[in-house]
Amino acid sequence: MTLLASTLATIVVANPAMSGEAALEMRFLQAPPAQTASGPKPLRRHTPLLYDTKLEYIVSGFPRSTGPAITVQDFAFVIPVILSGPTSRIDPRSMKPQLWFDSRQDKSVSQRAHIVPDKHLGANWAVIPIGTFSGSAMRIVVEFRGQSWSTVVDEGLMARVAWPREWPKETADALKPQTGIESEAPIIKALVTKTLGENARMMPPYHAAKEIIRAATLAYRAVNSDTLEKRGMGRIVGMRVVGARDTLDDARGTPHDVVCTCVAALRAAGIPARPVIGVRELSRGAARLSTNDRVNFVSWGEFWLPDAGWVPFDPELLRGNAVRQLKPFDKWPGVGTIPELNQRMPIAWSFAPEGLPLPRFPALFSFQGSLSFDANSLETYVGFTIIARGKGVEDP
């Protein structure tokens, strides 16, 4: 049995005459174009690629005494997930949860697992109830099939997009401060004022967003490309991300921190924005690396504009590309047009479920319920794989 989503009714049936596995794939992976109005579109997505993705979490401890290392009650594991995003699609019926208590598999978990819709930033929560357990380790696996698109913008049309009188309700969360994206912090506001002056609306919102992303990217003197926190044997604990306010003050961080700063600055300027966290397979040249090193968490951002919707950007693609000399009307690398965006599988719009306990090294999960441990150490190890399955399903 698979995870069942209560949002299935919103997913378009592309071709009712089809049957079998191909029809199922078409039904859940095909979506109407992001813009439905006639005429040229400021933002277009193209070339979908299909992926099978697996996330694996192991919570384990070494007991101090003869008792259990871990005890949980009314416990549930929570993973934020993007079922239908502007550049991605996940088939909710392909989501398969698996659960082990120490070495014993709980084969009934699929009957309890469910998806909660419309959480923070419009994402969903995949909730995997654990119940009660005492022992040394829990292992949770979630597999799913999805696809992602690349994007291209028409710079001329984007420049004509005007500031709206008010932003739509669905962007409300993307204008507020949150953990790691402290858009209300004085240092973030000062960056925006220095970049745009007192009146950000003197230029088109697309150009204002570009200038903010450039300023936030250049504000970092050093960016550490080592984005994963690891333990012995290369086991991944989570992502190295501190957040916008604290890393901007020091002008040092990881690419995740730069994304947080860009998003925070965009929000401070009154432009809805959110981070995107996903996984990608590294280049073929990395084939000699271990499995964990061939796949990586990656983050980028999106900002919302009228007529265009959510526009992707990646500050990492701006760095090292003479970003200081770019003019607003130029095509900027990593802003809007991202040819290789379809090589990443978006998973969440937050580093961990907002409002739940935040791990020191976020890894797209949190929990609900009571957890206690009697152990010398307690760690959560993360594993993830992404396997390309060829061309995805085109838009109608």
pLDDT above 70 coverage of the chain, percent: 87
Q: Residue ranges of the domains in the chain?
A: 8-147+352-391, 149-228+238-347
Residue 3 predicted with pLDDT over 60? no
Q: What is the mean pLDDT of residues 64-85?
A: 89
339-354 pLDDT tens trace: 999 999 999 999 999 8
pLDDT score, position 375: 73
pLDDT score, position 1: 37
pTM given for the model: 0.88
Q: What fold is seen in the domain 149-228+238-347?
A: C8orf32 fold (3.10.620)
pLDDT bracket for residue 27 (50, 70, 90): low
Q: Give the chain as a 3 state SS string.
A: CCCCECCHHHCCCCCCCCCHHHHHHHHHHCCCCCCCCCCCCCEEEEEEEEEEEEEEEEEEEEECCCCCCEEEEEEEEEEEECCEECCEEECHHHCEEEEEECCEECCCHHHHCEEECCCHHHCEEEEEEEEEEEECEEEEEEEEEEEEEEEEECHHHHHHCCCCCCCCHHHHHHHCCECCECCCCHHHHHHHHHHHCCCHHHCCHHHHHHHHHHHHHHCCCEECCCCEEECHHHCEEEECCCCHHHHHHHCEECHHHHHHHHHHHHHHCCCCEEEEEEEEECCHHHCCCCHHHHEEEEEEEEEEECCCEEEEECHHHHCCCCHHHCCCCCCCCCECCECCHHHEEEEECCCCCCCCCCCCCCCCCEEEEEEEECEEEEEEEEEEEEEEEEECCCCC
Which range in 186-190, 198-202, 374-378 is most confidently predicted, on average pLDDT?
Answer: 186-190
